[in-house]
Structure 1
Amino acid sequence: MYIASPERYDNMKYNRSGRSGLLLPAISLGLWHNFGGNDLFENGRAMVRRAFDLGITHFDLANNYGPPPGSAEENFGRMLRQDLAAYRDELIISTKAGYYMWPGPYGEWGSKKNLVSSLDQSLKRMGLDYVDIFYHHRPDPNTPLEETMAALDLIVRQGKALYVGISNYRPAEAREAAQILRRLGTPCLIHQPNYSMMSRWIEDELQDVLAEEGIGTIAFSPLYKGILTDRYLNGIAADSRAAGPSVFLSEKEITEEVIGKVRKLNDIAAARGQKMSQLALSWVLRGGKVTSALIGASKVSQIEDAVASLNAPELSTEELEQIEAILRG
């Protein structure tokens, strides 16, 4: 029988999400990969338990996470029942809808039909009455934004989610979504964009929009698909994600130019007593603009490394300048 560590809150840092009352752990765990029906259940279970023992209270899912789609939510529901049911009020559980999930005209995008139906399915798979955060996963170019945001507002009023957020929205779309939700009386809690040393698009206006609107930021892929680790410093290992048939990362993305930058960054990490992955997380969380870094993991030690990155000293002005020179070089 699992009993959570009594020291689970001793070392984790918690940050306020925008102008809300909600605190999120600086490191959150995403279940996009390695928690589906094609993965080893006990490995995923061990990672979730260890994450909670380290103070990670936020577990991020989506309707289509797996593979197969839906299986990550089903497996997480089993973990809740077996291990975490007694701790439900200590957890922030999020899910999303917007990408393709089932056939026909209502199985994706941002109609009220899709969002309400998808969340009902997600709650059933996880065995929950509500999620803490429900996201619209991507903008829908063909559905009025007013309809999509009204659906999020309805879901909160129905008690199926405590908060709502958006993901993959560009600056103008994010501002408009936030203003619509505010008028409806259900503020936008958080935005989930991809952000890392190698993907910095949110620095061009989006971060300013989110600060002005009082919206938190949770960065997914802060390790840039695993490239910002020591995994590829000496070539592509046969058992790596890039060497396989993954649609998530291709060998073409691991260029000599990119790895050359990672090697230089790794030297800075080593001088700080960090791993490359830890430096990447320290950089994403620098300055307090990002509420939480959303990591993926395939083994427990990766979660331990990520949480340990929070114990490192703040990046100095000199270190930030060195990193900037490498990234722009």
Structure 2
Amino acid sequence: MYTAAKERYTTMEYNRCGDSGLMLPKVSLGLWHNFGDTANFENMRKLCFTAFDNGITQFDLANNYGPQPGSAEKNFGRILKEDLGAYRDELIITTKAGYDMWEGPYGNWGSRKYLIASLDQSLKRMGLEYVDIFYHHRMDPDTPLEETMGALASIVQSGKAIYIGLSNYDGETLKKAAAILKELHCPFVINQNRYSIFDRSVEENGLKEATGELHKGLITFSPLAQGQLTDRYLNGIPEDSRIRTDGRFLKESSLDEHRLNQIRKLNDLAMQRGEKLADMALGWLLHHKEVTSVLIGASKTQQILDNVKAISCAPFTDEELKLIDEISKN
């Protein structure tokens, strides 16, 4: 049986999630990749143990994480049952619904029927009575916002989730949704969005600004831009790269000479700071006051150990921040 490290809370730092009572680790583990049916189960266990032993208390899932859809929740549920379940009250377990999950008109988007049914399925796969945060995974242009937010409020009232989150929303829609949830007395505490040095969409669509104004948390996924903000592509694309073996999320065409040159310049800056590029990229996110936590993905335990170091990242000077913008936006 797994026994958690006694010193697990000695190095990790925790941020308050907006103005709520919830504290989240600055680094959280996402199960988007490497927890599906095609991955090695023993490696999944080691990843979870390494994360928790180093103070990572938040494990982020979604109904469709796999492959196959649902398999990441199923595998994580097995880890909970066999190992981590004894520490349930120390964990923040999150899941989502909003993308295509099953056949027919009721297995997608943001209807009340879909969201409630999806969470019921997720809880069954994980062997849980509730999740700590349940997210609507993406904006639904056709379902009334009142219906989607009402479903989220009902889910909390039913005891199947403690808090509510929104993912992949823009600033304008976030404000409308937050107003509805406030009227419903629903504990909406966090937004989850893609954000990195190379992806500034939350700065451009008003989400980051609205998050600050509303005093909500912000957790960022793809903080390393699918590995671009690491030393993996400094000398081109390795033959064993996921780009060549998978290619679903990062296309080879994205790593043209211009992007590779940007990566090299950012790496030079990181070296001047005495850091690895990944550490600097994660630290850059965490220096933004709106960012509560960064979601990392990992296929090896050493990646988790390396990424946790980002909480000790050196402060950024104004000159360094300006240079990062110049490199990444040009």
Asked if the contact 1:190/1:216 (under 8 Å) is kept, the reply is yes
**Would the aligned equivalents of 2:63 and 2:118 in 1 still touch at CA under 8 Å?**
yes
Deviations 1:42-74 (A, max 9, x none): 111100100000000000000000101100000
In the alignment, structure 1 residue 213 sits paired with structure 2 residue 237:
no
Secondary structure of the residue aligned to 2:231 is coil
1:253 and 1:178 map into 2 onto residues whose CA distance is: 35
User: How big is the shift at 1:246?
Assistant: 2.7
- Is the Cα–Cα contact under 8 Å of residues 190 and 217 in structure 2 kept in the other structure? yes
Equivalent runs, 1:99-118 vs 2, <5 Å: 99-118=99-118
Unaligned runs of 5+ residues in structure 1 are none
Determine the C-alpha separation between the residues in 2 that align with 1:108 and 1:215.
26
Quote the Cα distance in structure 1 between the aligned partners of 2:145 and 2:187: 15
2:92 corresponds to: 92
Aligned twin of 1:261: 262
Q: Determine if the alignment matches structure 1 residue 71 to structure 2 residue 75.
A: no
Using the size of structure 1 for normalisation, the TM-score is 0.98
Q: State whether structure 2 residue 278 is matched by structure 1 residue 277.
A: yes
Distance 1:261 1:235 in 2: 12
Partner of 1:59: helix, strand, or coil? strand
CA drift of 1:213 comes to 1.3
Letter in 2 for 1:22: L
Q: Which residue of 1 aligns with 2:241?
A: 240
d(CA) in 2 for partners of 1:287, 1:307: 17
- Which position in structure 1 is the counterpart of 2:154? 154
Which residue of structure 1 aligns with residue 123 of structure 2?
Answer: 123
% identical equivalent positions: 57
Amino acid at match of 1:256: E
What whole-Å deviation, never above 9, does each CA across 1:187-240 have from its counterpart, x for those lacking one? 321010100001012123221211111210000100011111111111111111
Residue 225 of structure 2 is aligned to residue 228 of structure 1: no
* Map of 1:138 onto structure 2: 138
Q: Which residue of structure 2 lines up, in the alignment, with residue 318 of structure 1?
A: 319
Equivalents in 1 of 2:66, 2:79: separation in Å? Answer: 15
Verify the 8 A CA contact 2:211 2:290 in the aligned structure 1.
Answer: no
Task: Give the AA of the match of 2:249.
Answer: F
**Worse-superposed segment, 8-17 or 283-292:** 283-292
Q: Which residue of 2 aligns with 1:196?
A: 196
1:27-46 correspondence to structure 2 within 5 Å: 27-46=27-46
* Cα root mean square deviation, aligned: 0.9
Cα pair distance change 1:216/1:67, threshold 3 Å: same
Aligned length: 329
Residue aligning to 2:54: 54
1:175 aligns with 2:163: no
Whole-Å separation in 2 of the counterparts to 1:184 and 1:11: 38
Distance 1:274 1:4 in 2: 29
Alignment partners' CA distance in 1, 2:10 and 2:325: 33
Dislocated runs of 4+, deviation >3 Å = none
Unaligned runs of 5+ in 2: none
Aligned equivalents of 2:65 and 2:288: distance in 1?
Answer: 31
Tell me how far 1:30 sits from its aligned partner. Answer: 0.3
One-letter identity of the residue aligned with 1:109: W
Using the TM superposition, name which of 190-199 and 201-210 deviates more. 201-210
- Partners of 2:246 and 2:77 in 1: how far apart? 28
Kindly indicate whether the alpha-carbon contact (under 8 Å) linking 1:178 and 1:187 is maintained by their aligned counterparts in 2: no
- Tell me the secondary structure at the aligned position of residue 318 of structure 1: helix
Secondary structure at 1:243's aligned position in 2? Answer: helix
SS in 2 for 1:24: strand
Secondary structure (helix, strand or coil) at the match of 1:88 reads helix
Is the aligned partner of 1:81 residue 2:81?
Answer: yes
